[in-house]
A and B are shown apart, each in its own frame.
Chain A
Amino acid sequence: EAGVVQSPRYKIIEKKQPVAFWCNPISGHNTLYWYRQNLGQGPELLIRYENEEAVDDSQLPKDRFSAERLKGVDSTLKIQPAELGDSAVYLCASSPPGGFGENTEAFFGQGTRLTVV
């Protein structure tokens, strides 16, 4: 079974430039998450999708970050314009539907390491 696929793996951009990350979740996983992981820290949730609907984006900096999951499968996360503090690893994860409201395992992608210079 293919895992969560993210691209690119690495990205270096100058501040004020736009950048986009792409994620293809595991087939059949209706829940998709974008996390940001700063160096030496645990992942922090940016946004969660249930199918094509963003159901939790309370931690997404909406002035410069946007995300979409138009057909409820692939997703893109965009930053425009990027700032120096956006340098981090951006992780995508997906999970299958759970039964009876139970949480199910989140499977992570390899991440995109963004460096803003």
Chain B
Amino acid sequence: GENVEQHPSTLSVQEGDSAVIKCTYSDSASNYFPWYKQELGKRPQLIIDIRSNVGEKKDQRIAVTLNKTAKHFSLHITETQPEDSAVYFCAASKDTGFQKLVFGTGTRLLVSP
């Protein structure tokens, strides 16, 4: 089955800096890669996703890149703000009409003012 590894487990940055979180996956058939943000005690919420037919996707200060050959994808957050502090999870699944998301272990991002 699919296995998703995520690094780093914790990331501390200063406000305004950029943050990068990286994930690798094992199943070459996976073609849908969402990123979820989970604030303490709250539900995971989708912040951006990418499908395997594109290499990069941007939404304001966040972007995701995908390298299918190397089977890795990354989340980039620019101009970080304290409210970006949360745990971020990457996930992978196959496009089969339903989701069987396999999540990474999460990255705790702390943005210091």
* Cβ distance B60 to chain A, nearest Cβ, rounded Å: 18
Q: Are B106 and A41 in contact (CB under 8 A)?
A: yes
A80 to B98, CA, bound (A): 29
> Taking the complex as formed, is A95 at the interface, i.e. its CB lies under 8 A from any CB of chain B?
yes
| Cα–Cα distance between A106 and B87 once the two chains are bound (Å) | 17
A55 near B105: Cβ-Cβ < 8 Å: no
Given A40-B106, A110-B42: A102 in contact with B98 (beta carbons within 8 A)? no
Question: Which of A14-22, A42-50, A61-69 forms part of the interface with chain B?
Answer: A42-50
Decide: A48 near B97, CB < 8 A? Known: A42-B105, A103-B32.
no
Question: Count the A-B residue pairs with Cβ separation under 8 angstroms: how many?
Answer: 67
Q: Which residue of B lies closest to A103 (CB)?
A: B32
Residues of B within 8 A of A103 (CB): 32, 93, 95, 97-99
Any A CB within 8 A of the CB of B61: no
- How many chain-B residues does the 8 Å CB contact rule pick out? 27
Q: A43-B44, A110-B42, A111-B43 are in contact. Are A104 and B99 (CB under 8 A)?
A: yes
How near does chain A come to B92, taking the closest CB pair, in angstroms? 10
CA distance A50 to B13 in the complex (A): 42
Contacts of A42 in B (CB 8 A): 4, 6, 89, 91, 103-106
Within 8 A of B (CB), among A18-64: 31, 33, 40-45, 48, 50, 55-56
Chain B residues with CB under 8 Å of A101's CB are 95-97
A98 at the binding interface (Cβ < 8 Å)? yes
Q: List 6 A-B contacts (CB under 8 A).
A: A42-B104, A42-B105, A43-B44, A102-B95, A105-B46, A106-B46
Residues of B within 8 A of A (CB): 4, 6, 32, 34, 36, 42-46, 49, 51, 89, 91, 93, 95-106
